[in-house]
Structures are given as structure tokens and as C-alpha cells.
């Protein structure tokens, strides 16, 4: 099916970094329908047109598509472009498709949302509420000001809020909430990688079957699902730091107050190159040659480790 022409009918700021857009058809034809959990891919203009997928928050059957987009600092262009749109502007998109559909055989849905991951989950919650199905919605975030749709979620009797304010002990308590899974219960989760990984891990340990676990992640260019944390020992600085799946070695070095050299943060330029003294590197740069990598060169801004510990000279 050919791409859709959509007009931005309305833009609202839900939080300082999250904008909601209502998109309508530019001609008399009705918008293609969809099922809860679906997304639309918008065409982001540029030298090469890129596609960026955004979950549909509205219920099927309306004459608009509702999406909410968070402005990402390390945006490859998509969220920045969305935040530059104005009302009345016409954009191109693919018709909705669904990689995250609600199961027909479930009789109870556990919906878990972290941060901007609320978008597909609220779409599901609205649809489930309208059709009278039972569900519980868990919404986790850092601060109330940063959480889109918070008021609407609060009003749902089936909802639970987990606002951490940076305190890790206030995170979504997977261990207690997911204990004792019932046969026809299905779990749907969308949020940052680390959260999704750790909740799924807990769920499996608590007996949830894999085919009852459904997840969606909004990845940045470089994170890959399945990344594990590892430790890095920095010889010159004398520090050992832990690198979580959603962090890079460079990130943790900067957080620790160190002052390393770096520039592109994409694995392009080679300015941050360090030497591996111990451990197995997982190279993700495009700067170094194979020979250089084999001699120990390593880009802390993007590369990781397959071993549990990595030792660098810096």
C-alpha cells in the first residue's frame, strides 16, 4: 500500500520534552485502521529519507492518529524533526503495522510502561477498558513532570504509579507484582532497555512463559537488546566502573568526573581511542582497522566487552 499523507492537526506539550501530535488524513479517505499496540512509521526528510516508528496512543476507530514523542539528546534526527513540526504541516508516513499485538487467548493483561514507553501501553489500556477486559497498568518514571499522560493514568482504577525521583529502591517491584503468574495472564512491557531486560529476567525467574512475555524497546542507534553490564578497570585513573547496558564506557568515565578526550561519540573519529590491556572487546566503532583492533585499540564511546571485565590503559 502506498504511503499516507498526514496533516499535523494539533500539537501539545505534555511535558517539557514530550510532544503529542494528532495527525489526520489530508483527503476525504478515512485513515487505515489498526489494532492496539500498532505503530506508524513517519518519513523523516533528509539526504536519505529515514523512517521512525511511533506507537499509536489513540483507540482504533477515531479519525486521527495520536502519537507522543520524546526529544532525545542523542537523537539521530527523528525526535528533533518531530519536535520541529508545526500545526498544519503535511508529512508522509507508512500505514500502521503491529509488532506488539494483544493476545486473543489472554484473560488478563499486565501492562508495564517505563518513561515514554507509556505510549503503546496507554493505547492498549484505553482499548482494553473500552472492551471491558481486565488489566493492570504499571507506569514507572523519574519525576511526575517528566511523565506524559500521568493524569489520565492516575484516573484509571487499574493503574499503579512508580515514581522513583532517582531512588532505585522506588523502582517497579517486579518481584512482588509478577509473582505467581496465572495461566492466561500475559505481560506487555515497553520502556528503557535496562528496565525491560531486568523485568523480563525477573518474570522468567518467577515462572512466566516466554510466549506470555511481550516487549517493545525504543532503541537508540547503538544499543542492542541483550547487552549485559560489565566492569571496566581504568589503569591510569585507578578506577573500576560498572558499565550498564544503556551506558557506554565514555558515559561512566564522564559521570565519574574523569576528563577523557572524545569528540563524535559515534565511533567515527578515533579521538577517544584507548588500549585494551585485559578482557575481550566488543568493537562497535567504524574508525579502527582490524589490525589496530587486534593490537588492542578500542573506542570507549561505543564499544563494549564480551567478557565481564575489561581493563583499559587510560
Partner 1 sequence: MIPTNEQIAELIREDSVHKSVYTDPVLFKLEMERIYGHAWIYVGHKSQVKNSGDYHTTRIGEQDVVMVRGSDGAVNVLYNRCPHKGAKLVADGDGNVGKFFRCPYHAWTYKLDGQHLSAPLKSGFEGTCYDPKHADFSMVSVARVDSYRGFVFASQASYGEDLKTFLGGVITSIDNLCDRSPVGEVEVVGGIFRVQQRSNWKVFYENLHDTMHARVTHESSVDAARGEAEAIGEMPFELLIMDGNGEPYDFWEKLELRAYTNGHGYMEAIFDPAAAERDVVSREHFECLKKAYGEERSREILGMNRHNTVIYGSGSPHTVFMQFRVIRPLSVDRTMVEIQTFRCKGAPDSVFDRALTYANVINSPSSNVMPDDVEVYARCQEGNMTRGGEWISMHRYAGKDITLEDGAISTNGTSELPMRNQFAAWKKFMTATIIAKESTHAA
Binding of residue 256 to partner 1 (CB under 8 A) = no
> Taking contact as CB under 8 A, which single stretch among the options 128-136, 139-147, 229-237, 257-265 is the one that binds partner 1?
257-265
Binding of residue 271 to partner 1 (CB under 8 A) = yes
Interacting residues with partner 1 between 5 and 64 (CB under 8 A): none
> Taking contact as CB under 8 A, which single stretch among the options 24-32, 169-177, 183-191, 263-271 is the one that binds partner 1?
263-271
Q: How far is the CB of 259 from partner 1 (least distance, A)?
A: 8
- Residues in contact with partner 1, counted by CB under 8 A, come to a total of 15
Q: Which three cell numbers stand for residue 304?
A: 563494549
Binding of residue 263 to partner 1 (CB under 8 A) = yes
> Residue 218 and residue 74: Cα distance in Å, rounded?
13
Binding of residue 87 to partner 1 (CB under 8 A) = no
> Taking contact as CB under 8 A, which single stretch among the options 127-135, 234-242, 249-257, 259-267 is the one that binds partner 1?
259-267
Q: Which three cell numbers stand for residue 191?
A: 520502556
Binding of residue 269 to partner 1 (CB under 8 A) = yes
Count of positions (residues) in the chain: 314
- Please check whether residue 240 is in contact with residue 279, taking contact to mean a CB–CB distance below 8 angstroms: no
Binding of residue 72 to partner 1 (CB under 8 A) = no
> Residue 113 and residue 111: Cα distance in Å, rounded?
7
Task: State the DSSP string of 198-211.
Answer: HHHHHHHHTT--GG
Shorter beta-carbon distance to partner 1: residue 29 or 291: 291
Q: Cell 585485559 belongs to which residue? A: 278
Shorter beta-carbon distance to partner 1: residue 308 or 313: 313
What are the phi and psi torsion angles at 19 (to 5°)? -115, 140
- Residue whose C-alpha is closest to residue 118's, from 15, 8, 4: 15
Q: How far is the CB of 49 from partner 1 (least distance, A)?
A: 25
> Residue 9 and residue 129: Cα distance in Å, rounded?
26
- Please check whether residue 109 is in contact with residue 134, taking contact to mean a CB–CB distance below 8 angstroms: yes
> Taking contact as CB under 8 A, which single stretch among the options 119-127, 183-191, 223-231, 261-269 is the one that binds partner 1?
261-269
User: Which listed residue (90, 254, 261, 277) binds partner 1 by CB under 8 A?
Assistant: 261
Shorter beta-carbon distance to partner 1: residue 156 or 269: 269
Q: How far is the CB of 80 from partner 1 (least distance, A)?
A: 22
Binding of residue 184 to partner 1 (CB under 8 A) = no
Interacting residues with partner 1 between 273 and 292 (CB under 8 A): 273, 286-292
243, burial (CB in 10 Å: exposed 0-12, middle 13-18, buried 19+): buried
Q: How far is the CB of 264 from partner 1 (least distance, A)?
A: 8
| Helix, strand, coil percent content, the chain, rounded in steps of 5 | 20, 30, 45
> Taking contact as CB under 8 A, which single stretch among the options 20-28, 64-72, 175-183, 258-266 is the one that binds partner 1?
258-266
Name 108's Cβ contacts closer than 8 Å, sequence gap at least 6: 134, 135, 136, 182, 184, 185, 186
> Taking contact as CB under 8 A, which single stretch among the options 77-85, 158-166, 181-189, 260-268 is the one that binds partner 1?
260-268
Name 273's Cβ contacts closer than 8 Å, sequence gap at least 6: 287, 288, 297, 298, 299
User: Which listed residue (41, 72, 231, 268) binds partner 1 by CB under 8 A?
Assistant: 268
Q: Where along the sequence are the contacts to partner 1 (CB under 8 A)?
A: 261, 263-264, 268-271, 273, 286-292
Amino acid at each position: 500500500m502506498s504511503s499516507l499523507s498526514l496533516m499535523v492537526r494539533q500539537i501539545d506539550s505534555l511535558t517539557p520534552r514530550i510532544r503529542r501530535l494528532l495527525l489526520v488524513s489530508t483527503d476525504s479517505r478515512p485513515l487505515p485502521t489498526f489494532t492496539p499496540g500498532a505503530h506508524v512509521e513517519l518519513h523523516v526528510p533528509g539526504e536519505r529519507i529515514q523512517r521512525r516508528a511511533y506507537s499509536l496512543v489513540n483507540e482504533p476507530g477515531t479519525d486521527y492518529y495520536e502519537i507522543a514523542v520524546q526529544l532525545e539528546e542523542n537523537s539521530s534526527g527523528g525526535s528533533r524533526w518531530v519536535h520541529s513540526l508545526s500545526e498544519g504541516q503535511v508529512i508522509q508516513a507508512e500505514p500502521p503495522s503491529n509488532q506488539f499485538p494483544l493476545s486473543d487467548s489472554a484473560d488478563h493483561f499486565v501492562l508495564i510502561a517505563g518513561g515514554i514507553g507509556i505510549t503503546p501501553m496507554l493505547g492498549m489500556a484505553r482499548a482494553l477498558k473500552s472492551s471491558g477486559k481486565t488489566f493492570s497498568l504499571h507506569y514507572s518514571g523519574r519525576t511526575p513532570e517528566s511523565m506524559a499522560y500521568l493524569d489520565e493514568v492516575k484516573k484509571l482504577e487499574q493503574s499503579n504509579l512508580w515514581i522513583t525521583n532517582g531512588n532505585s529502591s522506588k523502582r517497579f517491584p517486579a518481584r512482588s507484582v509478577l509473582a505467581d503468574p496465572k495461566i492466561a495472564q500475559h505481560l506487555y512491557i515497553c520502556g528503557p532497555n535496562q528496565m525491560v531486560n531486568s523485568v523480563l529476567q525477573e518474570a522468567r525467574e518467577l515462572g512466566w512463559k516466554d510466549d506470555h512475555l511481550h516487549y517493545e524497546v525504543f532503541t537508540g542507534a547503538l544499543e542492542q537488546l541483550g547487552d549485559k553490564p560489565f566492569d571496566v578497570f581504568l589503569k591510569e585513573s585507578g578506577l573500576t566502573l560498572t558499565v550498564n547496558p544503556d551506558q557506554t564506557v565514555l558515559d561512566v568515565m564522564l559521570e565519574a568526573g574523569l576528563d577523557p578526550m572524545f569528540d563524535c561519540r559515534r565511533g567515527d573519529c578515533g579521538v577517544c581511542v584507548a588500549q585494551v590491556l585485559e578482557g575481550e572487546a566488543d568493537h562497535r566503532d567504524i574508525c579502527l582497522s582490524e589490525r589496530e583492533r587486534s593490537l588492542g585499540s578500542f573506542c570507549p564511546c561505543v564499544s563494549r566487552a564480551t567478557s565481564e571485565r575489561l581493563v583499559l590503559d587510560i
